[in-house]
Structure 1
Amino acid sequence: MLVSLEWLKDYVSTKGLAPEELAEKITRSGIEVDAVIDRASGMDKIVVGYVVSKEKHPEADKLNICQVDVGEEVPQQIICGAPNVDAGQKVIVARPGAHLPGGIKIKKAKLRGHESNGMICSLQELGIEGKVVPKAYAEGIYVLPADAEVGADALALLGLRDTVLELGLTPNRSDALSMLGVAYEVGAILSEEVKYPEIAYSTSSDKAEDLLKLRVEDLQANPMYVAKVVKNVKIAESPMWLQHRLMAAGVRPHNNVVDVTNYILMEYGQPLHAFDYDSLATGEIVVRKATEGEKITTLDDQERTLKASDLVITNGKEPVAIAGVMGGANSEVTASTTTVVIESAYFDGLTVRQTSRNLGLRSDASARFEKGVDPNRVVPAAERAAALLAELAGGEVLEGTCIVDELDKTPARVVVSPDFINERLGMKISLEDMLSILERLKFGVEAANGLLIIDAPTRRQDIKIEEDIVEEIARLYGYDEIPMTLPEGANQVGQLTAYQANRRVVRNFMEGAGLYQAVTYSLTSEALSQRFALKAEPVTRLLMPMSEERSTLRQSLIPHLIEAAAYNVARKADSVALYEVGSVFLGQTAEGLPFEEEHVAAVLTGKWLDHAWQGEKKEVDFFVLKGIIEGVIGKLGLTERMTFVKAEVAGLHPGRTASILLDGEQVGIIGGLHPAEQKAWGVKDTYVMEMNLVALLQANASEAPLGYKPVPRFPAMSRDIALVMNRATTAGEVVTVIRSAGVKLLKDIKVFDVYEGEKMEAGKKSVAFSLTYFDPERTLTDEEVVAAHNKVLKAIATIEGTEVR
């Protein structure tokens, strides 16, 4: 928000404070002043000139030799290249010795052999941004009014002897998106009263209701609509004071009617719109929801396709504006307009925000409606606009106002005790000081029975709860007045819960294994929301998504990890190893919200490097990722409770996919992407896994993660065994049978070879296992190991089609 101090003084006294001092007070009260801008900083010797004559430069087609009266005895010769310079104009002249923004100093010079004693200036050369300069002067010099005094200070005439404060407003302070809102803030800080602009105009004998009929079909989306009718307006440039106030506020002037609506927007914070009455044709305004696919061409000459949720202003037949966002080109005020309808309304913020996002169209009006406007300024803003149109455009205001008003304007009431305020602030503020602060803020306040009964002004829609009142009192009392208090009581050393500690173990292991942590969006498209989910649940959609790609809460971490891997592969990364610990959102609670469950997932693609220094890179495969999972499971002490079972998951390769079971219950999946999926994502051999981290960590509910174990004092003994088995029998099934034998001395089982070559019988394969026997308290004898191994062999013999080679 850009605040001209000269404009601000129309509404509140600044007590003669220097701009920097006022900015400091505003910042200390809670609204940060990002910049203090002296608009005339460094500029001098800039005056009003009169172009007496103009002739073409004999040596340059694009230059003109001008004789300019600058208030001295004789006109000064100035060479100017602006295409719009002409004799008889009042212009801005920088005299020799003048300083302009950007460190430019004007000197006498010769241009193509002819002397030039100064420069005729454009507004941009005075530091005004091109985007706010009137279009008529965007490519040339600025022409001053004919009554400008020759030789006078041009900077004062242009309103540049002014300081602008740039406010960095937080979203809750939409009340300060107007000059009056800032005036209330300054008035509260300096204990000054706010003066509203005077509204006075005479009305014609014609009545507005005879020319214009008004109907609102959706009172929830538009509970209040006001229309004033002004006839016999004369479209012209606005007076200089109005143009330059708008430019100081960052708004480009257009014509007197449009400029008045923008002026009220900046003054009251109430968006207005002006319709050409004759273009309405029907003499009717109907506010309704659009029909699906209905079209309108907006003021920026873009055709917009509307949705059924969009609110539109119509002439009873077709849309003439998108409510709260932008007007339509078919009702635009033009040079031929003579009768104007001024719209001032209260549109529902959610409806405006949804329409703005649907159309990808945002405006100053929509920004204010989204945050909420003051319902008690809707009518005064329309009246103020009518008065200015009568004054500046010669219009006649028709008697009466067309209005639909079903808007609740009851101020928000907050009841709070002074003790509550002081407890929250950690200090003692007297009741008198609290009452004084609230009264300076123009809050309605009454003290009764030890409580403060407070009615917040309707412009302050951020005031809802007791803590809001605490904040208001604290910021006006002065945050720097709150005493520093050291914490009291015994210190307690913080520590991680068992869940947090074990989750850290998982993360550390994944990173130690060579994976990089990724953090991806929780929002995804509906099409991807259930892809690779451990269990499909009803999806949760956002009410107002910013895009379809971010419209639904995810039920799996895998899709976005694949997306991240594909992004890196597309940028020539030959190997990608990512993991994520994040939440998925499943089903719905009784309150209609989803259950949030933490998962861990990983994706591997490209090359994989063994961690021995001499290791060679090889392609990632199922067993690399399975080994990482087994490492995680081992760290959590769940190895003997975990199994892998062949599975089929949509999108994964049917021969390289398994379910991960904990005590027989599925807690995860692992698999290679199906070739069709790999092609769609733009990756080659890619393997993914996802596990329910909550289930894993609850299964290991020890108070701290497993620590280091001492180096064994006694040796382990191993036995290798090769089995010929049916190809349909998995190694995991064999391991399960071996463990079910209950051999206490058996500590580890590993598969170290699989053979399915020509020497094997059809339908058979050979799988070699290494079995490790160990007792931490003593050295095992050969007899003990043989006895234990025989139990294993006996268990294996129960597997159909399996025999020892």
Structure 2
Amino acid sequence: MRVSYQWLNEYVNLEGVSPEELAEQLTRGGIEVDLVELRDRGVNKVVVGHVKSVEPHPDADRLRVCTVDAGQGELLNIVCGAPNVAAGQKVPVALPGARLPGGIKIKRSKLRGVPSEGMICSAQELGLPEKLLPKEQQDGILVLSQGTEVGEDAKKLLGLDDVVLELDLTPNRSDCLSMWGIAYEVGALLDREVRLPQPAERRLEGKGKSVAIVLDAEEDCPLYAAQVVDGIRLGPSPQWMQNRLLAAGVRPINNVVDITNYVMLEYGQPLHAFDYHQVENGEIVVRRATAGETVTTLDGVTRACDHETLLITDGTKPIGIAGVMGGENSEVTEETTTLLIESAYFAPESVRRTTRRLGLRSEASARFEKGVDPERILPALQRAVELMEELASGKVASAVTGEQMGEIDDVTVDLRHSRLIGVLGVQVDEQAVTDIFRRLRFPTEVKEGIYRVQVPSRRPDISIEVDLIEEVARLYGYDRIPTTLPWGQQSPGSLTPEQRLRRTIRHTLRDVGFHEVVNYSLTSPDALRSLEQVIHPKARPVRISMPMSDERKLLRTSLVPQLLETAEYNIHRREEGVSLFEMGRVYLTEEKKLTQQPEERWMLAGLTTGALTSKHWQGKAEVPDFFSLKGELELLFQRLGLTGIRYEAVQPEGYHPGRTARMKLEDRVIGLIGQIHPQTAEAHDLEDVFVFELDLLPVMEAVLGEMLQYRPLPKYPATTRDLALVVDADVPADRLQDLIHATGGEWLRSVTLFDVFTGGRIGNGKKSVAYSLSYQAEDRTLTDEEVNEVHQAVISTLEKELGATLRQ
């Protein structure tokens, strides 16, 4: 919002308060001022001149020699190159010694041998915003009204002696999108009287024109008023009005449009003027658009509407988009003599929806979508009609016609004095608080430490107690509120057990070379069909009712398919190998049609493919396999303190047969590890791909349900024995290890598999497995006899239970 200092001074006496001081006061009061702009930009000694004659330059085709009366007692000879200069014009003249924007100094000179005693100025040379000027004023010299006085200070005439304050308003302060709102704010800050214009209703004398209003969308437009003005003469608005519009950043167009814009800036109430003769039977119907209905707006663009677009119609055709822009078919033109002026309240949410969908914003919509003051609807209309009579030769041709659905509710908010002191942390006496509400013009009653405050409709941002506390704080002065340290009982922040567990998982996988990725929770049906859901086989994918695209139709039930897509993306960009993991939620339900929310389950998945190390002169690059990935997972289990994990061979769809296993914890399936089927990998342009996926719920229950047990470092040495056994090829290694642990007793510390051999002298259907067993006691050094006795018991149990024999 750009605020003219001179215009504001009409409403609040700013004597003794400079624009810079006013900007400081506003900023301290919570209305930030971004810029204090001097409109003259250094202009001085520029006056109004009257061009007496224009003659061709004797030595230049594009130059003219002008005789100008600038009120200096003698005529000036000025050489001018503007094509539009003509005798009889009133123009701004920079006298010798004048200064213009950009540090330009005017002095007497000769142009092609002809003396020139000054310069006839264009709008651009005076520093006027060229983009806001009419087309005819953008090229050539600036032509002034014939009613201006010769010798008058052009800077004052054009409003260049003004200062503009540019406000950076927060969305809740819609009241400050008007000069009235700023006047109330400044009056409260300075504790000065606010003087506002009070237009009287222009009453109709005799028979008038008919106006009928029908509100078919009362939720979106609960209040609508209109009045007809006849005898309109279109033309330029007076210079003072143009100056104020330019200062506010609004382009002057003609007296009718300028009046509606002026009142909008003054009252904060957008208005619109329709050509009355283009409104069928003088009827206004406010309704929602039908699907596919179109409106050609004032900018010449035909816009398609939906059922949520609010339209202004004449009962047969749309003549405007409510709160946004008028229609081209009811535009005010040079032939227009009768106006229907609209002043209405449109629901902010309705205007916001329309501007967002159409991508169309205007000064009017910026105010409607934040909320206008319903009590200014009629005063703004009366003010516009008053100015139409004064500046456009208009005459009232109808009474004010209005339609209102419901009453405007009064807003009353209670403020406890104790609550005010508690929030601000400073003692503010009761008299000071009531005085602040008086300055804000909030009627207030005080009873037993409670302020009952009646909030004016111009302040929709105030609805609860803390809003009033903020008003008191900013007018009392934020700088008067002392800085204090927080006090009270404090507790240090920490991670929850689940957060610590997830952090341990992340750190461990990063330590072994994995990179974390984050994929969308939404995926495609093709991605879900590519791999069978092994961990949660009964889970059904949840379909999104309004998907953004075909690739994002379903909620994922597994993390692996998207890891494959991510790996493919990286390999296609010349990554030799990738190791990725993701920890995120999947969405599980067994219902075909949802009757309740799906379960959100935390899962962990990892993938490795390609070269793990680069090729070097000592050997080939390392590539992943099932056992390297299994080792990295077992390191993770070790850091989590998770024991008892068992692996069972499975052959699910989409995975390599013979190289895939499911992981179980106490007979509960918690995950899957294995190689992706070569056909599936080839479909993603990948070579050997190894993945794992873990359900973190049972992992968390197992890890968080038990305290980690630590034991001291051993004081006595350990004794190792190697054990090479021949067993049937179908005997799982973990079955052997379970028996060894069960028989080894308390002295058996570790069992490590270090060799597996088949073929040769071992025989068909057999395999050789070799373990290293470590024995150790906590209270003494074990003797060979004690170790041999336990070791022999282990061998005997393996022979008896599994038919194992010692390898010879």
SS for the counterpart of 2:503 is helix
Q: Specify the alignment match of 1:269 in structure 2.
A: 268
2: CA distance, partners of 1:624 / 1:378: 77
2: CA distance, partners of 1:674 / 1:325: 59
Alignment of 1:112-123 (within 5 A): 116-123=116-123
2: CA distance, partners of 1:146 / 1:675: 90
Instruction: Tell me if the contact between 2:641 and 2:708 (Cα under 8 Å) persists in the aligned partners.
Output: no
Instruction: Tell me if the contact between 2:229 and 2:398 (Cα under 8 Å) persists in the aligned partners.
Output: no
Q: Specify the alignment match of 2:194 in structure 1.
A: 194
2: CA distance, partners of 1:753 / 1:56: 110
Deviation string, structure 1 residues 211-252 (Cα, Å, up to 9, x no partner): 222111111111111222212211111111111111111111
2:9 aligned with 1:9:
yes
Aligned residue type for 1:121: C
2: CA distance, partners of 1:663 / 1:299: 74
Greater C-alpha Rg: 2
Deviation string, structure 1 residues 179-226 (Cα, Å, up to 9, x no partner): 111111111111123222131464443666x52221111111111112
Residues 213 and 667 of structure 1: is their aligned pair in 2 closer, same or farther, counting only changes over 3 Å?
farther
SS for the counterpart of 1:91 is strand
Deviation string, structure 1 residues 343-376 (Cα, Å, up to 9, x no partner): 2211121222112111122222222222211111
Q: Specify the alignment match of 2:761 in structure 1.
A: none
2: CA distance, partners of 1:216 / 1:786: 99
Residues 797 and 638 of structure 1: is their aligned pair in 2 closer, same or farther, counting only changes over 3 Å?
farther
In the TM superposition, residue 430 of structure 1 has moved relative to its aligned partner by 1.0
Residues 787 and 529 of structure 1: is their aligned pair in 2 closer, same or farther, counting only changes over 3 Å?
same
Greater mean alpha carbon deviation, residues 653-662 or residues 213-222:
653-662
2: CA distance, partners of 1:679 / 1:130: 64
Instruction: Tell me if the contact between 1:529 and 1:556 (Cα under 8 Å) persists in the aligned partners.
Output: no
Deviation string, structure 1 residues 704-729 (Cα, Å, up to 9, x no partner): 99999989986988999999999xxx
1: CA distance, partners of 2:697 / 2:797: 36
Instruction: Tell me if the contact between 1:645 and 1:658 (Cα under 8 Å) persists in the aligned partners.
Output: yes
Residues 483 and 63 of structure 1: is their aligned pair in 2 closer, same or farther, counting only changes over 3 Å?
same
Residues 466 and 306 of structure 1: is their aligned pair in 2 closer, same or farther, counting only changes over 3 Å?
same
Q: Specify the alignment match of 2:380 in structure 1.
A: 381
SS for the counterpart of 1:358 is helix
In the TM superposition, residue 282 of structure 1 has moved relative to its aligned partner by 4.1
**Residue 636 (structure 1) aligned to one of 621, 628, 640:** 640
Aligned residue type for 2:79: I
2: CA distance, partners of 1:367 / 1:680: 53
Instruction: Tell me if the contact between 1:751 and 1:767 (Cα under 8 Å) persists in the aligned partners.
Output: no
2: CA distance, partners of 1:723 / 1:51: 119
Q: Specify the alignment match of 1:392 in structure 2.
A: 391
In the TM superposition, residue 421 of structure 1 has moved relative to its aligned partner by 0.8
Q: Specify the alignment match of 2:185 in structure 1.
A: 185
Alignment of 1:184-333 (within 5 A): 184-200=184-200, 202-205=202-205, 210-333=209-332
SS for the counterpart of 1:344 is strand
Instruction: Tell me if the contact between 1:746 and 1:772 (Cα under 8 Å) persists in the aligned partners.
Output: no
Q: Specify the alignment match of 1:75 in structure 2.
A: 76
Instruction: Tell me if the contact between 2:411 and 2:454 (Cα under 8 Å) persists in the aligned partners.
Output: yes
Alignment of 1:247-646 (within 5 A): 247-488=246-487, 492-509=491-508, 512=511, 635-638=639-642, 640=644
Q: Specify the alignment match of 2:704 in structure 1.
A: 701
In the TM superposition, residue 437 of structure 1 has moved relative to its aligned partner by 1.0
SS for the counterpart of 1:199 is coil
SS for the counterpart of 2:286 is strand
In the TM superposition, residue 671 of structure 1 has moved relative to its aligned partner by 10
2: CA distance, partners of 1:230 / 1:483: 58
Q: Specify the alignment match of 2:137 in structure 1.
A: 137
Alignment of 1:56-135 (within 5 A): 63-72=63-72, 73-80=74-81, 82-108=82-108, 116-135=116-135
Instruction: Tell me if the contact between 1:231 and 1:339 (Cα under 8 Å) persists in the aligned partners.
Output: yes
In the TM superposition, residue 476 of structure 1 has moved relative to its aligned partner by 0.8
Greater mean alpha carbon deviation, residues 626-635 or residues 156-165:
626-635
Residues 782 and 591 of structure 1: is their aligned pair in 2 closer, same or farther, counting only changes over 3 Å?
same
Deviation string, structure 1 residues 67-112 (Cα, Å, up to 9, x no partner): 44333312232333x4433333222233444333334444555556
Aligned residue type for 1:163: V
Instruction: Tell me if the contact between 1:225 and 1:404 (Cα under 8 Å) persists in the aligned partners.
Output: yes
In the TM superposition, residue 171 of structure 1 has moved relative to its aligned partner by 1.4
2: CA distance, partners of 1:140 / 1:592: 73
2: CA distance, partners of 1:118 / 1:706: 97
Number of corresponding residues:
776
Greater mean alpha carbon deviation, residues 104-113 or residues 525-534:
525-534
Instruction: Tell me if the contact between 1:553 and 1:584 (Cα under 8 Å) persists in the aligned partners.
Output: no
1: CA distance, partners of 2:233 / 2:253: 14
SS for the counterpart of 2:308 is coil
Residues 425 and 139 of structure 1: is their aligned pair in 2 closer, same or farther, counting only changes over 3 Å?
same
Aligned residue type for 2:704: A
Instruction: Tell me if the contact between 1:90 and 1:146 (Cα under 8 Å) persists in the aligned partners.
Output: yes
In the TM superposition, residue 273 of structure 1 has moved relative to its aligned partner by 1.8
In the TM superposition, residue 15 of structure 1 has moved relative to its aligned partner by 3.9
In the TM superposition, residue 175 of structure 1 has moved relative to its aligned partner by 1.3
In the TM superposition, residue 634 of structure 1 has moved relative to its aligned partner by 5.1
Residues 351 and 609 of structure 1: is their aligned pair in 2 closer, same or farther, counting only changes over 3 Å?
farther
SS for the counterpart of 2:499 is helix
Q: Specify the alignment match of 1:730 in structure 2.
A: none
1: CA distance, partners of 2:31 / 2:367: 18
Instruction: Tell me if the contact between 1:224 and 1:405 (Cα under 8 Å) persists in the aligned partners.
Output: yes
Instruction: Tell me if the contact between 1:223 and 1:405 (Cα under 8 Å) persists in the aligned partners.
Output: yes
SS for the counterpart of 2:35 is strand
1: CA distance, partners of 2:316 / 2:676: 55
2: CA distance, partners of 1:654 / 1:67: 99
2: CA distance, partners of 1:490 / 1:409: 46
2: CA distance, partners of 1:792 / 1:40: 103
SS for the counterpart of 2:383 is helix
Residues 336 and 488 of structure 1: is their aligned pair in 2 closer, same or farther, counting only changes over 3 Å?
same
Q: Specify the alignment match of 2:164 in structure 1.
A: 164
Q: Specify the alignment match of 1:52 in structure 2.
A: 52
Give the unaligned 5+ runs of structure 2.
Answer: 743-747, 759-763
Residues 512 and 369 of structure 1: is their aligned pair in 2 closer, same or farther, counting only changes over 3 Å?
farther
2: CA distance, partners of 1:179 / 1:631: 70
2: CA distance, partners of 1:456 / 1:372: 15
Residues 220 and 666 of structure 1: is their aligned pair in 2 closer, same or farther, counting only changes over 3 Å?
farther
Residues 659 and 244 of structure 1: is their aligned pair in 2 closer, same or farther, counting only changes over 3 Å?
farther
Instruction: Tell me if the contact between 2:756 and 2:770 (Cα under 8 Å) persists in the aligned partners.
Output: no
Aligned residue type for 2:194: V
In the TM superposition, residue 42 of structure 1 has moved relative to its aligned partner by 2.6
Aligned residue type for 2:195: K
In the TM superposition, residue 541 of structure 1 has moved relative to its aligned partner by 8.5
Residues 621 and 36 of structure 1: is their aligned pair in 2 closer, same or farther, counting only changes over 3 Å?
farther
Residues 594 and 612 of structure 1: is their aligned pair in 2 closer, same or farther, counting only changes over 3 Å?
farther
Instruction: Tell me if the contact between 2:646 and 2:734 (Cα under 8 Å) persists in the aligned partners.
Output: no
Q: What TM-score does the superposition give when structure 2 sets the normalisation length?
A: 0.78
Deviation string, structure 1 residues 672-697 (Cα, Å, up to 9, x no partner): 99999999999999999987777765
Q: Specify the alignment match of 1:43 in structure 2.
A: 43
2: CA distance, partners of 1:417 / 1:119: 66
Give the unaligned 5+ runs of structure 1.
Answer: 727-732, 756-760, 799-803
Instruction: Tell me if the contact between 2:349 and 2:369 (Cα under 8 Å) persists in the aligned partners.
Output: yes
1: CA distance, partners of 2:389 / 2:588: 61
Aligned identity (percent) is 42
SS for the counterpart of 1:432 is helix
In the TM superposition, residue 643 of structure 1 has moved relative to its aligned partner by 7.1
SS for the counterpart of 1:337 is coil
Deviation string, structure 1 residues 328-355 (Cα, Å, up to 9, x no partner): 2222222221121222211121222112
Instruction: Tell me if the contact between 2:226 and 2:341 (Cα under 8 Å) persists in the aligned partners.
Output: yes
SS for the counterpart of 1:124 is coil
